[in-house]
């Protein structure tokens, strides 16, 4: 389980310019949907864009976050 | 990940052109994300092999380490990691998945 603010904080540490919108898919704070918008995604494939976000949440993905559905965009 | 698991994974993704690491199997997917990718693959006229990560904790963690991707399912084509559910859904919508699956490998 994790709070929305903690997840956003962790993503912003790795992607400082990121605009992050989160939705709790199950109300149990462990299945999330995230929209992440960042200039850092320019020139990256969707796979690489998602990997940047997953790498920012490396520890959390093997613990408190059970599922994370991602949408990544450039501004 | 020990080298035996790594070797096993390398063989698995080499043995078949399209390989899906998932929870459950084609007939009984045991997670919504895995089920969605199975549905998508079933629409394409392509044979694919599945591996049920729920039957092997080593493969379940090993495949995540192999691709440095933390979630299941994971799709491989021609031995290359293509993506998880989100990526496959995007590729299905854009038509990129159709192109990839129908691409004949050279040689």
Which CATH number does the domain housing residue B66 bear?
A: 3.40.30.10
- Cα nearest neighbour of B32 on chain A: A67
The 10s digit of each residue's pLDDT in B74-85 is 999 999 999 999
> Does the CB of A68 have a partner CB in chain B at under 8 Å?
yes
pLDDT average, residue stretch B58-69 = 95
Q: Which residues touch B22 (CB under 8 Å, ≥6 apart)? A: B29, B31, B34, B37, B38, B50, B51, B52, B53, B72, B73
User: What sign results for the dihedral spanned by CA atoms B30, B60, B20, A68?
Assistant: positive
> Residue B87 and residue A50: Cβ atoms within 8 Å?
yes
**Which range marks the domain in which residue A48 is found?**
4-73
Looking at the structure of chain B, the number of domains it has is: 1
> Does the CB of A51 have a partner CB in chain B at under 8 Å?
yes
**Residue B105 confidence (pLDDT) above 60:** no
Rounded CA separation B73/B33 (Å)? 7
Q: Return the percentage of chain B with pLDDT > 90, whole number.
A: 92
**Residue B104 confidence (pLDDT) above 80:** no
Looking at the structure of chain A, the number of domains it has is: 1
> Does the CB of A66 have a partner CB in chain B at under 8 Å?
no
Closest CA to B13 of B107, B76, B59, B102: B76
> Residue B83 and residue A61: Cβ atoms within 8 Å?
no
Q: Would you state the pLDDT for residue B101?
A: 96
What CATH number corresponds to the domain at position A35? Answer: 3.30.300.90
Rounded CA separation A37/A40 (Å)? 9
The 10s digit of each residue's pLDDT in A14-42 is 999 999 999 999 999 999 999 999 999 99
**Residue B107 confidence (pLDDT) above 60:** no
Q: Which residues of A touch B87 (CB under 8 A)?
A: 46-47, 50
Residue to mutate among A34, A67, A71, with most B CBs inside 10 A, is A67
Residue to mutate among B87, B88, B95, with most A CBs inside 10 A, is B87
Please state the pTM of the whole predicted model: 0.92
**Which range marks the domain in which residue B83 is found?**
3-106
Q: Which residues of A touch B95 (CB under 8 A)?
A: none
């Amino acid at each position: 389980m994790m709070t929305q603010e903690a997840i956003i904080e962790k993503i912003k540490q790795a992607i400082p310019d990121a605009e992050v919108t989160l939705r709790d898919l199950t109300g149990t704070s462990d299945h999330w949907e995230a929209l992440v918008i960042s200039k850092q995604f320019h020139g990256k494939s969707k796979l690489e864009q998602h990997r940047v976000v997953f790498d920012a949440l490396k520890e959390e993905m093997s613990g408190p976050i059970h599922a994370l559905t991602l949408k990544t965009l450039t501004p | 990940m020990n080298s035996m698991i790594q070797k096993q994974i390398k063989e698995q993704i080499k043995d078949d052109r399209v390989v899906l690491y998932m929870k459950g199997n084609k007939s009984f997917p045991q997670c919504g994300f895995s089920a969605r990718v199975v549905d998508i693959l079933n629409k394409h006229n392509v044979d694919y092999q599945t591996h049920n990560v729920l039957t092997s904790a080593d493969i379940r963690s090993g495949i995540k380490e192999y691709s440095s991707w933390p979630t299941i399912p994971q799709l491989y084509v021609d031995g290359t990691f293509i993506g998880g559910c989100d990526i496959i859904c995007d590729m299905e919508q854009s038509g990129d998945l159709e192109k990839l699956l129908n691409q004949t490998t050279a040689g």
